Amino acid sequence: MRMRIPTVAKLLGCSAAVFLIADAQAQLLFKTKFSALEGYTNGWIIGQPSIGAKWENANADWDWCAANEPEYVKLNNGKSWIPEGQTEPYYIVTATNTTALGGGQMMVASDGNYGTNAQTYFWKIDFPKQMTGPITVTWDWQFHCTNEIPADYDPTNNNYNAQLPGFDHGFGLADYANRTADGAYGNPNWVYSECSTGVRLSSRQDCRFNGLGVCGGSGSWFDRGPEFKDGKVLHMKTIMYVANGVDDDLTYMNTYDNFAQRDGENVWQTAKYDGDPFYTDQLGEKYMSEFGMRRCPGEVDPESGINCIMCWMNGNQYSRYVLVSNIRVWGPDGIPTPTLRIDPAPPNKIKLTFTGWLQAADDIEGPWQDVALPSASPMTIDAASAAKFYRAEN
């Protein structure tokens, strides 16, 4: 996804050397590192962050369920009853380590059946509606198992599923209007079959397979992909080909690719969009038909589109948990690159004017740290401060 980064250096007539870097890539629709800079604090993630779009419950209309489809009442709101002997409820999804260098994580953990985590909890965060693609989301996943990892654990052929149970947690992109697609009475609460791109951790990292152009909520899980139960970080990427397909070719409209890379290892492909039925991963050449979306954008509302990240956790899986971090969503290519301008601000200041996120580093190779949101522009810094490298990221 990242293109070659052009650099421009400019030395001001003061004691601080400021280097400008334009980070060229597609339109950034949404980004979070679960950091204090974004307004996150440690605790229940619903209603956070304090700045911009907020995480919300996606299945919270209990009155409708009780009146129309009582079997859905068990779908919980992410907050269990107060455990015996405790004074606070158990929150299933929280923001953690928000002040850590580089940002924190979203922690997904069930409650050991202390309360309502009997079936499935869905939650979401919105980004600007997209009617065409490709739309790309990247994120990091890390499973934390409380069982001992056998010395001969093999990520390509695990023989320890009984000792190393999985974790049914999903992450995908969706059209939120489709939440009513499957309910006989128009259920306003989310269910699995309404997610557009179903990507999950289960016995392996796998994806929801659906026929080309079928939509309609059908399909099944395609149980092929890397193991994750030794806790190695998975770097994830999903690319959705929405409405206009690829290069205006409608043949594979509303299909998606998914890739998973165990940190430092080869990339696995766990969903694919094109007509070539074969792909190659760590296990060699394999057959895989193209993956149609489980629910296509616009099925319920033609004016809607892909507009949110949808996550779920299925049932009680205590005491294992998963961390999600570094989420980014990009829209189609062709959007102008971000800008970064520096000017003297007498008597002893430097003014930084930027679009995108402002990042800084002590070395041009990084590590880069977010230092300001787009809304903070323009920003002044002390000219007598230590020299830094700056770049605007979009």
Assigned CATH class of 28-330:
mainly beta
Share of the chain above pLDDT 90, in %: 27
Predicted pLDDT at 2: 32
Predicted pLDDT at 210: 87
Sign of the alpha-carbon dihedral angle for 320, 321, 322, 323 = negative
Predicted pLDDT at 246: 45
Question: What predicted TM-score, i.e. pTM, was given to this entire model?
Answer: 0.84
The kind and range of the H/E element at 285 are strand 284-287
CA separation for the pair 268, 46 (Å, rounded): 32
Q: What is the DSSP letter of 91?
A: B
Mean predicted lDDT score pLDDT of the chain: 81
Predicted pLDDT at 48: 97
Per domain, the residue ranges of the chain are 7-25+337-393, 28-330
Q: Identify the CA nearest to 368 among candidates 393, 342, 386.
A: 393
Predicted pLDDT at 324: 98
Lowest mean pLDDT among 14-28, 87-101, 123-137: 14-28
Structure token pair of residue 14: 């003061």
Predicted pLDDT at 41: 97
| Centroid of chain to Cα 52 | 16
pLDDT above 50 (res 24): no
Question: Cα 182–191–127 angle (5° rounding)?
Answer: 105
**Residue with more model confidence, 273 or 252:** 273
CA atoms within 13 A on the CB side of 121: 24
364 Rama sector, left if φ>0, alpha if ψ -120 to 50, beta otherwise: alpha
Mean pLDDT confidence for 182-188: 66
Structure token pair of residue 147: 């069982």
CA separation for the pair 145, 318 (Å, rounded): 10
Q: Which of 17-26, 147-156, 230-239, 341-350 has the highest mean pLDDT?
A: 230-239
CA separation for the pair 170, 344 (Å, rounded): 49
Give the contacts of 189 (CB within 8 A, at least 6 positions apart).
Answer: 58, 59, 60, 61, 64, 65, 72, 75, 122, 179, 183
CA separation for the pair 1, 273 (Å, rounded): 17
pLDDT above 60 (res 95): yes
Task: Kindly give the residue spans of alpha helices, DSSP state H, lying in the chain.
Answer: 62-68
Q: Hey, how many other C-beta atoms are within 10 angstroms of the C-beta on 155?
A: 16
pLDDT above 50 (res 115): yes
CB 196 within 8 Å of CB 187: no
Peptide bond into 134 cis (omega under 30): yes
Structure token pair of residue 148: 């001992």
Mean pLDDT confidence for 324-328: 95
Q: Which of 61-75, 328-342, 343-357 has the highest mean pLDDT?
A: 343-357
pLDDT above 70 (res 183): no
**Residue with more model confidence, 178 or 106:** 106
CA separation for the pair 42, 45 (Å, rounded): 8
